[in-house]
Amino acid sequence: MRILIHDARLVATMDDARSRHPGGHVLIEDDRIVSVGPGLPAEPAADRRIDARGKVVLPGLVNTHHHLPQVLTRNVPAVQQAPLFGWLTHLYTIWRYLDAEAVGVAARVGLSELLLTGCTTTTDHLYLFPKGQTRFIDAAIEAAREVGIRFHPTRGSMSRGQSAGGLPPDDVCQDEAEILADSRRLIAEYHDPKPRAMTRIALAPCAPFSVTEDLMCRTRDLAREHGVRLHTHLAETLDEERYCLEKYGERPVEYLRRLDWLGPDVWLAHCVHLSPEEVRLFGETGTGVAHCPSSNFRLGSGLAPVRSLMDANAPVGLGVDGSASNDTGNMMAEVRQAMLAHRIGHDPSRWLTAEDALYLATRGGARCLGRDDVGSLEPGKAADVILVDTRRLSYAGAGSDILAALVFSPWPEPVDTAIVNGRVRVEGGQLQGADVPALIERAEAASRRLLDSAARAAGIE
Ligand SMILES: [Zn+2]
């Protein structure tokens, strides 16, 4: 199957040269790109032609941090004004009623939102498993396959409950042997290390305040034994820093360094509170950062030193984070947020450009997830391509730099076309093969069930 995208207003490759081809083309053969450039390819024959006049063609975006079940607990009134620890403490009492049906519906909503806003590869961090619920990640993978997005679910975990000095209630924590056995099962069942893989597993203990040191070490060993990546939350808030100083006698990054948890196979969410030495250490060790500006603003956590991390050559990607702290999974809105965030209090020479922000959302994200086959439009790469129709009111008058306009001017949802692994998943702004109104109804019902269960339990207490 050959798909030719031709006569684009602009093809922005995000390759090393950051090449731009006005009037250019992208030629896809099966699951990979075979030609990118100006004009038409040498052999333009194709089974399908996509007329890209008026459209900007980009590599699909990469999301490096998410919690899909949080779709069902967006903007919960009790925690709209709460910082991280209070926000978590309340939401645990709701999330403890999740089941596989709710996780599957939430994943379909969250993954569809991502795809419609240009994201073709995403991770997910699922760490809360109420007693008896063991198939959450299986449900999320099933949803990803249905939506057609490239998926890196992480097997998260919590094992340090309140009785052991942790933040979460004991009933949402799991036994460590059970966590490791399920991690092994998921790797064996789903992890695909081959190029252009659609599913890869990573292991992701939740945070220093909800996981024991022992589980961190055993997870690290298991991941390295199987060649899968490691992920966790780190240095998100000053509360976490105080917790680590009190419990471990070290700062969060020192703690991870002692546990041999820094390296090119690790990417960490947030990393807001890093010292200049820690930034250098991330660059030296190749430790990646999932930068989540909207969530960090929403919870008042702070602003990660992204420009310094980029200068240190640490991998930096963007994450929408869970929809209880964003509260949207709009990937392109996150690109804009990242571009704007680093302007406050910084010299203009250090501000991120629109293209820098797009780079984080493509090549930077791919690096965090350990992929060299997505994030740019180049022959041999996976056929993950998005088209944005610029013939819209919000871009009128922005023709002098139409690529920057996608970031500076609000990105009207949705993208015109999204192709993942050579398959057209969004066309004319519509998800292919999805009944969106029915999905919204199912999500509303699942959300109500969850909130009602929590309210009933609170009433009984
Ligand atoms: Zn998170």
The residue type found at 36 is V
Backbone angles phi, psi at 6, to 5 degrees: -130, 160
Cα 236 to averaged position of ligand 1 atoms, centre (Å): 9
Cα 87 to averaged position of ligand 1 atoms, centre (Å): 12
Cα three-residue angle 375-15-279, rounded to 5 degrees: 70
What distance in Å separates the CA atoms of residue 414 and residue 421, rounded to the nearest whole number?
19
- State the CB neighbour count (10 A cutoff) for residue 386: 26
Q: How far out from the chain centre does Cα 153 lie? A: 10
SS3 25: strand
Cα 8 to averaged position of ligand 1 atoms, centre (Å): 37
Cα 25 to averaged position of ligand 1 atoms, centre (Å): 37
- Give Cβ neighbours of residue 424 (< 8 Å, ≥ 6 apart): 3, 417, 418, 432
- Strands (E) across 165-297 are located at 202-205, 229-234, 266-270, 288-291
Q: How far, CA to CA in Å, does 150 sit from each of 147, 154, 245, 276, 377?
A: 9, 13, 38, 34, 16
The string of pLDDT tens digits covering residues 101-149 is 999 999 999 999 999 999 999 999 999 999 999 899 999 999 999 999 9
Cα 33 to averaged position of ligand 1 atoms, centre (Å): 33
Q: Which among 429, 444, 451, 453 is positioned nearest to 106, based on CA atoms?
A: 444
Contact yes or no for 385/425 (Cβ under 8 A):
no
What distance in Å separates the CA atoms of residue 142 and residue 362, rounded to the nearest whole number?
25
- Strands (E) across 52-201 are located at 55-59, 61-63, 119-126, 150-157
Q: What is the pLDDT at residue 410? A: 72
- Which residues is 232 bridged to in the sheet? 268
Cα 311 to averaged position of ligand 1 atoms, centre (Å): 25
Q: How far out from the chain centre does Cα 416 lie? A: 21
Q: What is the pLDDT at residue 76? A: 97
Cα 82 to averaged position of ligand 1 atoms, centre (Å): 15
Cα 95 to averaged position of ligand 1 atoms, centre (Å): 14
Cα 301 to averaged position of ligand 1 atoms, centre (Å): 12
Cα 205 to averaged position of ligand 1 atoms, centre (Å): 11
- Give Cβ neighbours of residue 299 (< 8 Å, ≥ 6 apart): 82, 83, 84, 87, 237, 325
What distance in Å separates the CA atoms of residue 377 and residue 366, rounded to the nearest whole number?
13
Q: Which among 54, 95, 55 is positioned nearest to 71, based on CA atoms?
A: 95
- Show pLDDT as tens, one digit a residue, over the chain (461 residues): 999 999 999 999 999 999 999 999 999 999 999 999 999 999 999 999 999 999 999 999 999 999 999 999 999 999 999 999 999 999 999 999 999 999 999 999 999 999 999 999 999 999 999 999 989 999 999 999 999 999 999 999 999 999 999 999 999 999 999 999 999 999 999 999 999 999 999 999 999 999 999 999 999 999 999 999 999 999 999 999 999 999 999 999 999 999 999 999 999 999 999 999 999 999 999 999 999 999 999 999 999 999 999 999 999 999 999 999 999 999 999 999 999 999 999 999 999 999 999 999 999 999 999 999 999 999 999 999 999 999 999 899 999 999 999 999 976 679 999 999 999 999 999 999 999 999 999 999 999 999 999 999 998 76
- Give Cβ neighbours of residue 378 (< 8 Å, ≥ 6 apart): 13, 15, 33, 36
Cα 400 to averaged position of ligand 1 atoms, centre (Å): 37
Tell me the two tokens of residue 109.
């909503």
- State the CB neighbour count (10 A cutoff) for residue 312: 17
Residues with a beta carbon under 5 angstroms from ion ligand 1: 269
Cα 45 to averaged position of ligand 1 atoms, centre (Å): 45
Tell me the two tokens of residue 33.
């790109």
State the DSSP string of 212-230: -HHHHHHHHHHHHHHT-EE
Q: What is the pLDDT at residue 353? A: 97
